[in-house]
Every structure is written in structure tokens, then in C-alpha cells.
Amino acid sequence: MTTSEDAAVAKLDKMSDNLKRVEELSQRLIEVMAHHQPMRKSLTGPNEDVFSNAATAYWAKAMENPGAIFEQQMAFWGKSVKHFIEAQHMFAQGKFEPPADNTPQDRRFANPLWQSNPYFNFVKQQYMLNSQAVRDSVAAMEDLDETQKRRINYFADQIVEMMCPTNFLSTNPDALEKAVETEGQSLVDGLENLIRDLEENNGELIVKLADEKAFELGGNVATTEGAVVYRNEMMELIQFAPSTDEVHEIPLVIFPPWINKYYILDLKEKNSLIKWIVDQGYTVFIVSWLNPDPSHAEIGMEDYIQDGYLRAIEEVKSITDQKQVNAVGYCIAGTTLNLTLSLMKKRGDKSVKSATFFTTLTDFSDQGEFTPFLQNDFIDGIERECEQQGVLRSLIMQRTFSFLRSNDLIYGPAIKSYMMGEAPATFDLLFWNGDGSGLPGKMAVEYLRGLCQRNEFVGEGFDLFGEKLSIKDVTIPTMSITCETDHIAAWKDCYRGYQQSGSRSKNFVVSESGHIAGIVNPPSKKKYGHYTNADMKGSAEEWMDGATYNEGSWWPTWDAWLSPKSGKKVPARAPGDSDHPVLCAAPGEYVKKKAFK
């Protein structure tokens, strides 16, 4: 045999071995699924209700005007038949090429074979026709209220995204090419990745986005030097070591969202907001929240405020020997900081001199992309889950958020992992994203019912501590940092709530990019700019029309606002004091606890 023949035989042998391995792994996959206990109604109910109610509303409207549906179907069938005839015509002429393709650009179809190969091009064009037919049918529905319309749009989008041909091996040229190139090894690796993800999550399919073994808390993420100087059952309080000889006398305490872990603000030195603030000469504290389990079922909003916010503020004042602090709240922690400030106003407590809110919602009158998940049927399912589990588990929230960007957070990663056989990325942001936290059952229901559904904080008042807390009670100087493409806390919604606060000194900023990248935007990168406008009398659109665009990060803009509110310079402070001994080095112990499954 020649050398080339030997190589061909070796390739065939390897392919054969890999196909046998695929068969063995398939049996293992069957065993994993056979032993999987189906999720209870309390878990599946919320998601099922979104789809079933959207489908019910769609068919109810369809039956009111079947002629319109038939007309749409006839148009769809006509385009499909025409597409098939055009493809057949090219073959009849002896041309191995696709017909004219005027479909829009879509990054899922970047492989040249989607354009040049008649089979893949036919599949792509037909998918585009199908997708448009679904969306046209939904758009043609009349007399729907806004909630129904958003639910049906969400339902339709999920169907369209799920049925994309790139999600199936037989119609994904990238996956097929790699399978041939690797003699089937990519399929073996993909099956191993799939089984690993199923086994690690008790049979639930959650795509691993990052290589967890590549990161170590305190090693290559969460590395800013500091120490835990206080701990209770709700949180650890971390004080960071100074990097300047002098610091502002008034300290800064940061409250991150407890739906995630604090180190999104301290991933690595070059993009760490915490490190940057320390370097500007501030004494910085941050709260590292408890990751709850079923024993914490009865922890509510009052506990977060009393044992989290108010306790942290008092301890920071004691450690620094100051009467006031400046405070920051990020996302849900910003919403709760507003509640805390309202309570402090009613109590005459002036411990907070200024407050900054990152991507913070206070007015939930427009539920935006979360509309499908904030209706009674869905929240009823969440409430059942919380009653049975004691917590709203991280995997439920992760799944809900992921479906809002399903191509980027579900199907795209699944294709790379399971079809292409690629290892999870070594990307710190994705590692953090997968290191989630649950919510105590009582707190989750209070937040969803009172704030998100009934919108009480900007209405008749949110009832806590025997008080009716209102956004109008927030009267200290404030700044709100929002993000232009944020799909979790849309900047216009943040603006609407912020407008209603009682502060006479309001400063509103819109950073380019989204919920994370717009906040974690170090000046050194010179990547995203930001918009500013002192006039907040008009609508969000009017604010943006009159805004000034500023090159670069908002961090220096914020520093220029915060610095005059932070007092004179004093000698730098080491973490802790005689009453607050160092309990352990940052990032502490609470941050290492994994979410309850």
C-alpha cells in the first residue's frame, strides 16, 4: 500500500473507533436520562405557563379571524413552493449552485457553504421564510393588550430561535466539517461535554459556559488586596487595603446584587472597578452576601436592609470613625439601597451623604422584556418553588435570563460544546456568570409581588418596618449610571424611576454597552463612551436628544462628582480596627459557597 493509502486507512480506522465511542457514550447518555427525576411542577410550571398561555392567546385570536390566518398561510406556501421550484430549476440546468439569495445577513450563517452549497442554502432560505411567516402571523394579530402581545412575541421568538438549522447536526456545516476533519473526534468530545453537563446538574441541561478549573477566587479573579472585617448571617463586610498614602476621610461602601457575587467588580486588576476606586484614594468597603440555602427561607427584604445595609453602614462608620458614608448599589441592590434611604429619611438617619445607583430600576410600570415572567401564572409557579425549596434557585433565574438572549447564552454555546466538541471558554466573565446565587424564598416573593408586579415603591408605598417607603423620600445627592443596551434594566426605565426621586441633586449617565460591560468599563480600554445631560425635566428621549456624548469610561466622570462629597484627605487606613479584627483575607468565605441546587 502507498503512504496515502495507509493514511486513508488510518483515518477510516480512527473514524470507526470514534463512532464506536459515540455509540458507547450514547448508551451512557440514555442511562443519565433514565435516572433523571423530572422537575416538579413548581419548577417547570413558570416556563410552561409562559408558553401555554401565549399559545392559547394566539389560537384564540386566530379563531376570531381564520381568514387572515389562511391568507398568511397561502402567502407562505406560495413563497415556499416558489423557492423549491427555483432550486429545482438550477439543478435542471445542470448547475450545482443555489438560486438568488436575498435573505438578510445573520451571523449564525457565516459559513460560506450557507451561500454556495445548494443544500445548505435551500435549508437556510426556507428557515428564513418560516421565521418570517411566524412573525408576520403574530404581527397581524389585533385587539391584543400589550401584555398578551409581548407574551406571544416572546413565544414566537423562542420557537424561531429553537428551530434554526444551525441547532441540528445534519444542517450545521461547521459541525459536519469538523466531524470529518477530526475523524469523528469532535462528536465524541461533544457527547462527553453533554453528559458532563447533565451529570453535574442532576440531569438538567445547563450548558457550561466557562472552564471552572481555570479560575481561583483570590488567585486570578477577586484579587484586590483586602480583608473581611465583619461577618453576620447575612453578609461579610470586606475592607480593601489602600494603595495611596492618603485617602478621602468619608468612606465608600458598595452593595452588589445578591443574585450574583460581588467579584464582577473585581474580576482582574486591569478591569477591576474596586481596584480603580482604591487607586483614586478612597477607603472602599464591599458587602459579600450570603448564598442562601433552604434554612434561609424566611429571610426577607427587612433582613437585607436591617442586617445588610444598615449594619454595614454602621460598621463602616465605626471602623473609619466617621459620621457618614457614601454608598453604591448595583441592580437589585440599588433598588434596595433606595428602599433603605427612604427608611433612613423617615427615621431621621443622615448616615449616607450621597448614593450612586448602577443599572437600578425603581419604577416597574413597564416590565419590558420581563413581561412574560412577571404575570401571576409565572409568579405563582415561582411562589410554589419557594414554598417547596425555601429558595428561588440560581438555575431557574439563570435559565430565565438566558432565554432572553437564547442565541448567545443557550444555542450558540450548546453548538460549540455539543456539536463542535469544544472545551468551555477560559473567560472570567463567563466563569462569574455561572457562579450564581439563589434568593431566599420570602425575599424573592416580596420583591416580585410588591416591587415588580404592584410597583408600590413609586405608587402608594412599599410596606416595610411599619412604614410606607417611597422613592420621593430619597432626597440626598445621587447619581444613576445606566447602560444603553441593557436588556435587564433598560436605561429609559431607570430614567423614569430616577426622575421621581425626591433628590434635588440628580445626575444621570448613560454608558454605552450593556448591563455588565457598560459598568465594568475601565478608562484604560477607551472602549465605550457615555452620555450626560443635567436637564431631567423631559422624557427619556428628550434627555438623550439633549445629551452630550463623552469619549471613554464614565468612571472619571463619577470620580469628579464623588470626590467633593468625600471630605478632606487623611492618612490611609489599614483594614479593620481594634474592635474589628481581620477575620480572613479577601475575598472571604461567603463568596466561595456554591448555589443550592
Per-residue pLDDT, 89? 61
pLDDT band at 38 (very low <50, low <70, confident <90, very high): very low
What residues are paired with 510 via a beta bridge?
482, 531
Q: Is 168 left (phi over 0), alpha (psi -120 to 50) or beta?
A: beta
* Cβ neighbour number for residue 504 with a 10 Å cutoff: 9
pLDDT band at 537 (very low <50, low <70, confident <90, very high): very high
Q: Are 528 and 553 in contact (CB under 8 A)?
A: yes
Cell of 97: 449552485
Residue 204 and residue 223: Cα distance in Å, rounded? 32
Per-residue pLDDT, 408? 87
pLDDT in tens, 383-421: 999 999 999 999 888 888 888 888 888 889 999 999 899
More confident residue, 273 or 149: 273
More confident residue, 581 or 27: 581
Cell of 422: 469544544
Residue 78 and residue 74: Cα distance in Å, rounded? 6
Name the residue among 423, 386, 374, 285 with its Cα closest to residue 596: 386
pLDDT in tens, 103-144: 889 999 999 989 988 888 888 988 898 888 888 888 877 777
Query: Quick one: DSSP state of residue 401?
Result: H
- At position 2, the amino acid (one-letter code) is T
pLDDT band at 550 (very low <50, low <70, confident <90, very high): very high
Q: Does the pLDDT value for residue 547 go beyond 90? A: yes
Instruction: Kindly give the residue spans of alpha helices, DSSP state H, lying in 374-518.
Output: 376-389, 394-404, 406, 412-414, 428-434, 441-446, 491-499
Residue labelled with grid coordinates 454597552: 513
Q: Does the pLDDT value for residue 546 go beyond 90? A: yes
Q: Are 137 and 69 in contact (CB under 8 A)?
A: yes
Per-residue pLDDT, 32? 66
More confident residue, 352 or 394: 352
Angle of CA points 151, 156, 159, to nearest 5°: 130
pLDDT band at 565 (very low <50, low <70, confident <90, very high): very high
Percent of the chain at pLDDT exceeding 90: 60
The rounded mean pLDDT for the chain is 87
Query: Quick one: DSSP state of residue 371?
Result: G
Q: Sign of the CA dihedral 129, 134, 135, 137? A: positive
Name the residue among 196, 216, 215, 214 with its Cα closest to residue 206: 196
- At position 494, the amino acid (one-letter code) is C
Q: Sign of the CA dihedral 291, 451, 386, 490? A: negative
Give pTM, 2 decimals.
0.86
Beta strand segments in 553-595, E:
569-571, 584-585
Residues marked active site are found at 331
> What's the gap between Cα 369 and its chain centre?
12
Name the residue among 148, 65, 565 with its Cα closest to residue 355: 565
Residue 518 and residue 484: Cα distance in Å, rounded? 8
Q: Does the pLDDT value for residue 151 go beyond 70? A: yes
Per-residue pLDDT, 432? 94
Please classify residue 188 by burial: count the beta carbons closer than 10 Å to its beta carbon, then call 0-12 exposed, 13-18 middle and 19+ buried: buried
* Cβ neighbour number for residue 92 with a 10 Å cutoff: 9
Residue 556 and residue 329: Cα distance in Å, rounded? 18
Cell of 18: 470514534
Q: What are phi and psi of 206, to 5 degrees?
A: -125, 115
More confident residue, 29 or 349: 349
